[in-house]
Amino acid sequence: MMKTMIMMAAAAIALVAGNAQAQNYGTVENFYRANIDVDNSQYAGRAVNPGYWLVSQAQWADVDSRWTGGGYVRLGISSWESDNTQGGGIPLKDWALAYAKTIGADVVIYSIHTGDKYDWTQHDVAFYARTQQGASLNRLNNSQATTAMNRLQDAFGRPRVSSVWYNQNNDTYNWVGPKFHRQMSQSATQFMSEIAPWLS
């Protein structure tokens, strides 16, 4: 009898632990639908540093097409509605980025807009992974990098940069932030992965 009770207790603990693990990423994970046309397993477990973009509903289709047409695949989308009186109108950025690392996504696109219910907000989160084609882009010259970056800035309603320059010594792209006027630097690999959809 004692042995049976111990086994039941252990099973209950395991069940609770399993449920806790499944809830690590909250609604972002609970409502995630994987893209059945993509082998998600080849991306899961990769070491990634995901980029995050908050876009409007009107921008969604264009941004999605640029990523999927610029050397990336859409791993899946998570969509749900939340009650604004319970804080549902705030993007769950940290959960989205954490889940992106779990599934190996390089980019997260997040959009919130008015839901079907009164005083509820619709959340749409798409996850993208860079393909081998997207990872092997050649380095851009300064003019190309500046043009592509300003296309990206325009797409998200951000002020343009005056110039982007490539530093061959440490393989980085650099620019002065148009808002706070601080010099920014990013590894060429990361810069190219984020700028790829705006090359044309």
pLDDT in tens, 164-173: 999 988 889 9
When mean pLDDT is compared across 60-64, 104-108, 137-141, 176-180, the lowest value belongs to: 137-141
Model confidence over 33-43: pLDDT tens digits?
999 999 999 99
- Mean pLDDT within 133-142: 71
Task: Please give the pLDDT value at position 113.
Answer: 92
Pairing type for strands 51-55 and 172-176 reads unpaired
Question: The tokens of 191 are what?
Answer: 């810069």
Residues with Cβ < 8 Å from 153, sequence gap 6 or more? Answer: 159, 160, 161, 178
Mean pLDDT score, 120-138? 81
**Helices and strands in the chain: count of H runs, count of E runs:** 7, 8
| Region of 188 on the Ramachandran plot (φ > 0 left; ψ -120 to 50 alpha; else beta) | alpha
Identify the DSSP state of 122: E
CA distance linking residue 58 with residue 14, whole number of Å:
44
Question: How much of the chain exceeds pLDDT 70, in percent?
Answer: 85
pLDDT for residue 103 is more than 70: yes
Task: State the Cα angle at 124 between 118 and 125, rounded to 5°.
Answer: 155
- The overall average pLDDT reported for the chain is 82
